[in-house]
């Protein structure tokens, strides 16, 4: 029988192990999320990340080794971003009918998300690469990572911040909108899509179909707007 150490040395040299582990951890996270009735705080990505981080730590595996396997999953973020064109196109008729409120809410929500995150973190003493990594956190992950890299942030830190933003948005949106007495499903969905991307959009779809469609539009449009605004704000920050 082959020693475990020998098998391990084979496994640690191929992408197979960490690719399989990534999918396996996600399936576990997704199963737990479904079992909870899709509670916003039982997030499949967060669970998968915790499981994988614990395995890496326990097996003393560097992130670079893990990423050699996981890069195949990571690579699909690019085509998935392009694929966001499909839901955006499918909902264009809604966009045309409520064009003015959409554009105004998009600009206001997007600017608020970027500036308030930077402002609060700055006031609390966060600086440099960490601060820049916060700027694109309301954009959908594939876009946010690209922006973070471009403006001198840390894409892996941005990934964590994006996921947390989505979870926060999904948890707070319904109680907040009820408190503000906003009953229009278009406004409720669109605001959470702009502020909390795909995770907020998934939440909106659970609550109401129209809210979900508008959240999807908000996510798609804010991906584009954040890609334009974040580099401007970052340039302005570094000039300070």
Partner 1 sequence: MILHLTLLLTFQLAGEITARALSLPVPGPVIGLAALVLAFLASPRLARAMQPAANGLLAHLSLLFVPAGVGVVGHLGLLGAQGGQLLLALIGSTVLAIAVGAGVFMAVLRLTGDEE
111-130 positions binding partner 1, by CB under 8 A: 112-113, 116-118, 120-121, 124-126, 130
Query: Segment near partner 1 (CB under 8 A), from 7-15, 34-42, 59-67?
Result: 59-67
Quote the DSSP letter at residue 42. Answer: S
CB 234 within 8 A of CB 129: no
Contact between 188 and partner 1 by CB under 8 A: the answer reads yes
**Shorter beta-carbon distance to partner 1: residue 4 or 88:** 88
Q: Please, which residue, 4 or 151, has the CB nearer to partner 1?
A: 151
Show contacts with partner 1 in window 68-107 (CB under 8 A). Answer: 70-71, 73-74, 76-90, 92, 98, 100-102, 104-106
Q: Tell the smallest beta-carbon distance from residue 1 to partner 1 (Å).
A: 32
| Residue 178 makes contact with partner 1 by CB under 8 A | no
Altogether, the residues listed in the chain come to a count of 240
Is 213 in contact with 91 (CB distance < 8 Å)? Answer: yes
Q: Which is nearer to partner 1, 7 or 232 (CB)?
A: 232
Tabulate helix, strand, coil % of the chain (nearest 5). Answer: 80, 0, 20
CA-to-CA separations, 173 to 120, 125, 188, in angstroms, rounded: 20, 28, 8
Nearer to partner 1, 9 or 73 (CB): 73
Pair of tokens at residue 118 = 């930077």
Q: Does 233 bind partner 1 (CB under 8 A)?
A: no
Least separation, in Å, of the C-beta of 5 and partner 1? 23
Residue 7 or 103: the one with the smaller Cβ distance to partner 1 is 103
What does DSSP assign to residue 102?
H
Q: Smallest distance from the beta carbon of 35 to partner 1, in angstroms?
A: 16
Dihedral angle of Cα 116, 117, 119, 120, to the nearest 10 degrees: 110
Give which of 126, 128, 163 is closest to 145, Cα–Cα.
163
Supply 4's token pair: 């475990």
């Amino acid at each position: 029988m082959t020693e475990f150490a020998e098998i391990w040395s084979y496994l640690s040299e191929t992408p197979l192990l960490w690719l399989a582990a990534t999918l396996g951890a996600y399936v576990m996270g997704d199963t737990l999320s479904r079992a909870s009735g899709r509670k916003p705080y039982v997030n499949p990505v967060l669970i998968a990340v915790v499981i994988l981080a614990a395995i890496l730590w326990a097996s003393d595996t560097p992130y670079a080794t893990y990423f050699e396997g996981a890069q195949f999953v990571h690579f699909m973020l690019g085509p998935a971003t392009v694929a966001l064109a499909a839901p955006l196109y499918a909902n264009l008729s809604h966009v045309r009918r409520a064009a003015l409120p959409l554009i105004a809410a998009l600009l206001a929500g997007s600017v608020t998300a970027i500036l308030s995150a930077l402002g609060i973190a700055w006031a609390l003493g966060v600086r440099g690469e960490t601060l820049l990594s916060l700027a694109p956190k309301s954009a959908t992950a594939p876009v946010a990572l690209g922006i973070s890299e471009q403006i001198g942030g840390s894409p892996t830190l941005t990934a964590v911040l994006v996921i947390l933003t989505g979870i926060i948005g999904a948890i707070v949106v319904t109680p907040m909108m009820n408190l503000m007495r906003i009953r229009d499903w278009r406004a409720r969905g669109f605001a959470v899509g702009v502020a909390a991307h795909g995770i907020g959009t998934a939440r909106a779809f659970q609550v109401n179909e129209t809210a979900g469609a508008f959240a999807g539009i908000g996510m798609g449009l804010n991906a584009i707007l954040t890609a334009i605004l974040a580099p401007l704000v970052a340039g302005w920050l570094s000039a300070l």
